[in-house]
Structure 1
Amino acid sequence: MDPGPDVPALVRELTRRADPRRLRRDVEFLADRPRGRIHAPEAMLRAETHVADELARAGWRTERQPFDVRWRPGCTDQPGGALSPLRFRLHRRLSGANLLARLPGGDDRPGVLVGAHLDTVEGSPGADDNASGVAALLEIARLLGDLPRPPDVTLACFDMEELGFVGARVAARALRRGGRVTGMICLESVGCFATGPGTQALPAGFGTVFPREAASVRAAGRRGDFTLVVHRRSSDAAAALWHRAARAAEPPLPVVTLRDPRPDGVPGALAGLAAPPLNHLGRSDHAAFWNARIPAVMLTSTANFRNPHYHRPTDTPDTLDYGRLTTVAVATAATAVTWTP
């Protein structure tokens, strides 16, 4: 019987080469101001340039993929409640760009995509949401770029997540048509950890829909010291691999895995109307890949259910835990090269 990949050994090797100081430098550069295609276009271009430069230094070939879409349902990028109906907006026209990167010299076969969104809401520098995810992505680029054989992994920075996953929706459709991606890992607000009791909140109705997971969080004193891995049946293997990688870290990173019971595709998106707590599980770019029937997982430190600075001017670099953020990057890199959807 095939014992599978030696994930602990890979985690040890990647950890040896990972550097929390690099992640902090990336977060501090990106999160010194708000960035967004509409409310802060110059800052967005500055952030794009930084990402492309760092990917190039790590040996990746980056392609900027502009898009122009019309009459797209979404939301505003104003600060406020993540699921408030007041944020709904029908966008007449949006023009943006995603960044996609591959390592030269690989087999150019379909593989796993790791993605994070680059934009923020208006008025927030977005250290956790989502400079943390982009910094982890850049560290993953450095770690994977040093492997003896280039892995079949694509890295992506998505535009306009805060407007309703606009860039990810464009990318997911194109990648599905081209058969370029077999699975997706989304890094969404992954840098905030709080070890004190009572620091982790739960959405209304969560205990009814997910009684076992809610009981686990309560039994641990509702401490916000874990990474949440949201997945579906199609991405069970990725969630298990990520959990295994996080356990192999030193020190181990606590993990809560949560399977969204909905199917991939449009029916899954519509099922959220019947069970509103499920909508919290689709609050980032991975939802666009679920809707395109591409297996996906979301990694998150649960955003506003833990972080009091969510979507606020106080979401600054000094509020993040760079040691644990580095472990998130290492576990994600290990998962990306061992997951075969």
Structure 2
Amino acid sequence: MEPGHEVRGAVLPDVPALVGRLTRRADPGRLRRDVEFLADRPRGRIHAPEAMLRAETHVAQELVAAGWRTERQPFDVRWRPGCTDRPGGPTAALRFRLHRRLSGANLLATLPGSTAGGGRSTVLVGAHLDTVAGSPGADDNASGVAALLEIARLLGGLPRPPAVTLACFDMEELGFIGSRVTARALRRGRSVGGMICLESVGCFATGTGTQTLPPGFGTVFPRVTASVRANGLRGDFTLVVHRRSSDGAADLWRRAAGAARPPLPVVTLRDPRPDGPLGLLAGLVLPPVNHLGRSDHAAFWNARIPAVMITGTANFRNPRYHRPTDTPDTLDYDRLTAVAVATAVTAGCWRP
């Protein structure tokens, strides 16, 4: 991805130049139109299958129009642990479900002529398409899907297509079912070097006291907690959750967000757990860290693929989370566009 230069295999990009180049081509109006189309009704394979198919068709058409080779990958799984997609439930234990059988489909897209494939690894950018029952899911997660589509348009217009794969996941609200299928398959093929997850990225709240923190968070993450509190508990930042294996991506995203227009305040948070199944078990010892794995990136961590989550912190900021009031008029489309630009730069330059 140009401009930039390579030193001993590491891409050292001119981040401000790349951000400026993509910002001039980005369009908040396009993101708003995508969110409005997707979030005019709830969508899900079980509770709203027709709406889910309608949304999936829109995403596929927009990816193809942006020049991406798009493939629908159906899956059928049995006896998978997960959760219910009904809203509410005071504890995770009460939302647990053992799914006897689930049939869905993910969408994956690559650019013709890119360096992905042929033994070269790709950076995957993903967002989930489904919602909980009863919620149109503008922030959770039409915002992430709209950003994904804008990334497709931005990267699709580059003269040298980067090694990036885009993924629209099914059944995140049922327990990351679609992303778990994809992560396992990609790990076997060793074709993905890293993953960026876009989760609830459109809600920003600039008033004091609009940001909350999970119980026990200050004990486990004192630096981040102090930073958020020093800012008056304003929900005006984007959180980048990463692990040691994805430090590079978090740093790239922070730099790109700082050069965006408008500039995006960023809080980076390193999950102390290792990738792989051991990281899952560590959550039993430190319960607050479990909040850091509440989206599709967790499936890639568990498959030992470096990953980051980009998020507006969902229910810790957005009072409309998982409710009928999570509607398109509540999002900040200028900042959502900046999220898309920063993610496009990171995906094109990260070399895990």
Q: Distance in 1 between matches of 2:134 and 2:325?
A: 10
Partners in 2 of 1:170 and 1:318 — Cα distance? 33
Amino acid at match of 1:134: V
1:309 maps onto 2:291 in alignment: no
Distance 1:180 1:134 in 2: 23
Residue in structure 2 matched with residue 336 of structure 1 by the alignment: 347
TM-score in terms of structure 1 length: 0.99
CA distance change for structure 1 residues 81 and 320 in 2, over 3 Å: closer, same or farther? Answer: farther
Task: Say if 2:52 is the partner of 1:41.
Answer: no
Equivalent residue number for residue 261 of structure 1: 272
- What is the CA–CA distance in structure 2 between the aligned matches of 1:294 and 1:194, rounded to whole Å? 32
Q: Secondary structure of the equivalent of 1:273?
A: helix
TM-fit CA distance, 1:89: 0.3
Tell me if 1:140 matches 2:148: no
Residue 84 (structure 1) shift: 2.5
Q: CA distance change for structure 1 residues 304 and 339 in 2, over 3 Å: closer, same or farther? A: same
Q: Distance in 2 between matches of 1:36 and 1:240?
A: 34
Pairing partner for 1:119 from 112, 124, 130? 130
**Is residue 177 of structure 1 aligned with residue 213 of structure 2?**
no
Could you say which residue in structure 1 is the equivalent of 2:334? Answer: 323
- The code of the aligned residue for 1:28 comes to E
The alignment partner of 1:64 has SS state of strand
Secondary structure at the aligned position of 2:126 is classed as strand
Partners of 1:179 and 1:83 lie apart in 2 by: 36
Report deviation, 1:251: 2.5
2:16 is matched with 8
CA distance in 2, matches of 1:250, 1:162: 32
- Residue deviations 1:119-148 (CA, integer Å, cap 9, x gap): 000000000000000000000000000001
Q: How far off its partner does 1:83 sit?
A: 5.1
Q: Name stretches of at least 5 consecutive residues in structure 1 with no aligned partner.
A: none
TM-score (normalizing by structure 2): 0.96
State whether residues 237 and 265 of structure 2, in contact with CA within 8 Å, keep that contact through their aligned partners in structure 1: yes
Distance (whole Å) between structure 2 residues aligned to residue 33 and residue 257 of structure 1: 33
* 2: CA distance, partners of 1:4 / 1:248: 16
Return the alpha-carbon distance in structure 2 between the equivalents of residues 221 and 202 of structure 1: 12
Letter in 2 for 1:8: P
**Partner AA of 1:76 in structure 2:** T
- Who is 1:73 aligned against? 81
Give 2:293's match in structure 1, choosing from 266, 282, 298.
Answer: 282
Supply the AA of the counterpart residue of 2:350.
W
Cα shift at 1:82: 8.0
Match of 2:111 in 1: 103
How much has 1:106 moved relative to structure 2? Answer: 1.7
In structure 1, the partner of 2:256 is: 245
Matched, 1:19 2:27: yes
Residue of structure 2 in register with 1:226 after alignment: 237
Moved more, 80-89 or 8-17: 80-89
Q: State how far apart, in whole Å, the 2-side matches of 1:186 and 1:173 are.
A: 16
1:204 is matched with which residue: 191, 215, 219?
Answer: 215
Deviations 1:220-278 (A, max 9, x none): 00000000000000000000000000001123100000000000000001110111100
Structure 1 residue 60: deviation in Å?
0.3
Structure 1 match to 2:228:
217
Alignment RMSD, CA only?
1.1
Structure 2: 5+ residue stretches without partners: 1-5
Secondary structure in structure 2 of the residue aligned to 1:21: helix
Question: What is the one-letter code of the residue matched to 1:245?
Answer: A
Q: Which residue number corresponds to residue 283 of structure 2? A: 272
Letter in 2 for 1:45: L
Q: In the aligned structure 1, how far is the partner of 2:100 from the partner of 2:148?
A: 31
Pick aligned residue for 1:155 from 166, 172, 184: 166
2:294 aligned partner, one-letter code:
R
How far did 1:180 drift?
A: 1.5
How far apart, in 2, do the equivalents of 1:246 and 1:267 lie?
32
Give the distance between the partners of 2:209 and 2:339, measured in 1 at CA. 23
Give CA-to-partner distance per residue, 1:188-213, whole Å, 9 cap, x none.
00000000000000000000000010
- For 1:241, give the aligned amino acid: L
Judged with a 3 Å threshold, the aligned counterparts in structure 2 of structure 1 residues 13 and 82 are, in CA distance, closer, same or farther, namely farther
